[in-house]
Every structure is written in C-alpha cells, then in structure tokens.
Structure 1
C-alpha cells in the first residue's frame, strides 16, 4: 500500500485514488445540476439536481455554503470532501473544488501515517491476565426459560 501511494506521489498526484475517483464521479453528476447564486461573494448557492423526468421523481434541491463548508445533503460535512452539489456550484462559477478537500486525503499525509512503525505484539500465552477485584455473579432472572412445561416454584 505504501509503495503504491509513493508511486502515485511521484507521478504528480496529490490526493489518494479513492478521492480522485469520487471527485470524478461527482463531476459527472454535477453536469446534470442547475446552480443559483444566493450571495454576491460566491459563498451561498441553491443547487437543483434534475433526475430523469420520465421516472416521475421530482427534482432535489440543496443549499450549499462554501464559507462554512456545508451542504444540506450532509455528505460534504461527513466525508470532508466536496459532494456533487459543491462541485456543481464550484464549476458554475469557476472555483477550484479541490480546495475544499480535507488534508487527511492527501498522499503526503497518508504516507506519513504509513511511515510509523508499530510495535510487535508478544505471544498471547505470555500476556498477564489480572483477576477482577470483585466476584462476578450471574443474574438468574435474565436466564432464558427452558421449553416445555413450566416448573412449579411453590412448595
């Protein structure tokens, strides 16, 4: 994994392969969207996605706030890279959508993570298991009842 990412970095790529693929897919989806500008300084947009009109599904509309890195679809906040609606807004007004990709997805950052060495675990049989400080007793009321005739508890 580390060698593959090092080769990608040498080839001039900035982001990991999954992000590049996701951004490519989002760019394809963004072509089918209509963007309306809501603020003068290119920060707030209303993006409408037109799905196949024959299917009878109404168009979906989402608000995009680039300053606060928010989209009403919530994918932008959850995944830390631009969703298709953010890509559509950026493409319509000639903004670079890659500036909104979080640094955790850069090849340089992932190579630094893979560069750390992990300590080798000892044999499991040599691990010390400490006894609990208290005695654990089962709760008999939580036992599953046996199938069949009930037992009489009266004397």
Structure 2
C-alpha cells in the first residue's frame, strides 16, 4: 500500500510514514478499535450532525449538544428493552456469527494441543464464492487466528467457530464483553441535562478572555491587494525572474509609472 502511495504522491507518502502505523492503519492497531477506522467514526459523526456544517461555530456547538441529548435516551431505551427481553449480545455480532457457522462444514480441523487449545484449520477452495482456501492456525487460549479477523474484531471468525465445534466449545464465550447489550446500555444511559435560558446564565467577566488576531488573515491596509489568481502563458502581464514588465514598452526592471520613456 505504501508503495502505491509513494508512486502516486511522494510527499504524501513521506507524511504518512512519519505517523505511527498503529494510529491510522487497521493492520497495526492491535485490535484496540474493534475494526473501526477513522473514516468510519467520522461518517458516524457526520450522520448525526447532518446539515450543521454551514452553521456558525456557536450554532454547531449548540446543535451538537441538543442532538446528542435527544439521541442518548433513545438509544438507551432501545438497549434496555432488549436486555429486559432476555437478549445478551448485540444483533450485529449474532448475525456475523450465524453467518460464519455455515462455513465450518467446508473446513477440516485438527487439534494439535488440547490443553493449550491449538488448532490447524484447513479451508477448501470455493471458486464460485471467490474464496481461496488455505491453512490457518487458531489459538483459542490467546484468542488469535492467522486470518486476523478474530484479533481485530474480538469475536469468533469462521476458523475459530470450526475449532470450537471440534471440542464442542461455546463460541460465544470468545466474544468480547464490549459487544454485550449491558455494556452498550452503560454507554448510552448517560444524560445531557437541559441548559438554562441565556437570560439566566451567571455573569462572566470579559476580562478573563483575551482575543488575539491572526495577522495572516488580515487584509492589506496599504497598496493594492495581492492577486491570488493562477497566471498562465496567455496572460498579457508577465512576471519573469520576479521583475515586473513596463506597461508601455514591455521592458523589464520598471513599471509604467516609473518608465523613463513615458514622456515620449
């Protein structure tokens, strides 16, 4: 991947290489984000705050607070209802595990160490499904698999389920606690208290704040403004070696105002 980036943009590839890989790649993040990448999290936030990008910063902050205040009780009530209904795991994990349970019949599992739960899982080719077979080492005690889906997502992949079926183990015992509905409910149960009306806010002394101007954003006070247009070869006015050309005779080194031949 880095070779492709380097061939496309040398400067961009050098910039990415200076950032630790565990901060922006899923292959090196060590399963800390449970498969979520930065783009996934950004899209989730954008979906909640859709339509607020054009607002001023004060309105964006206010809209963010009130939208989260309405979203958290709604999500908490949904998870609480599922818990009261007797469910333990979230629907997404159950769906993925049920899908993976249909694949072990196309695999051959051999137990190499019953005490340490070492397995070798051989997956057969299935060209009609685009799956190329291979051998995978599964270590249930360390919760690792060579396909690395088990390591990153923290719930059993198809190879882990095949190893569990070999010893009649419950694959749900290898699902991380973060996928429990109780864990999700504990996240969403926090509330955002209502905010007082602006007229009832306590007085704040402006002496505590000091506004600093950004000189780079200020307009030029004297002289003509700088042109930011990208000039091409068809422009009449040319700039060569940082020297302006005379508007009358097209000579270098002076302008039409300081042209020595302007009287003639």
Aligned residue among 153, 178, 182 for 1:108:
182
Q: Distance in 2 between matches of 1:3 and 1:57?
A: 41
Tell me what 1:66 maps to: 140
Report if aligned partners of 2:116, 2:139 keep a CA contact under 8 Å in 1.
no
1:15 shift after superposition: 0.4
Tell me what 1:148 maps to: 232
Query: Using a 3 Å threshold, how does the CA distance of structure 1 residues 56 and 104 change in structure 2: closer, same or farther?
Result: closer
**RMSD, aligned α-carbons:** 3.1
Query: Using a 3 Å threshold, how does the CA distance of structure 1 residues 58 and 78 change in structure 2: closer, same or farther?
Result: closer
1:111 shift after superposition: 0.9
Q: SS of the counterpart of 1:116?
A: coil
Aligned length: 147
Tell me what 2:96 maps to: 22
Query: Using a 3 Å threshold, how does the CA distance of structure 1 residues 105 and 131 change in structure 2: closer, same or farther?
Result: same
1:7 shift after superposition: 2.4
TM-score, length basis structure 2: 0.48
Q: Distance in 1 between matches of 2:172 and 2:129?
A: 33
TM-score, length basis structure 1: 0.77
Tell me what 1:43 maps to: 117
**Gaps spanning 5+ residues in structure 2: where?**
1-74, 198-205, 218-227, 244-252, 254-264
1:52 shift after superposition: 2.0
User: Which of structures 1 and 2 has the bigger CA Rg?
Assistant: 2
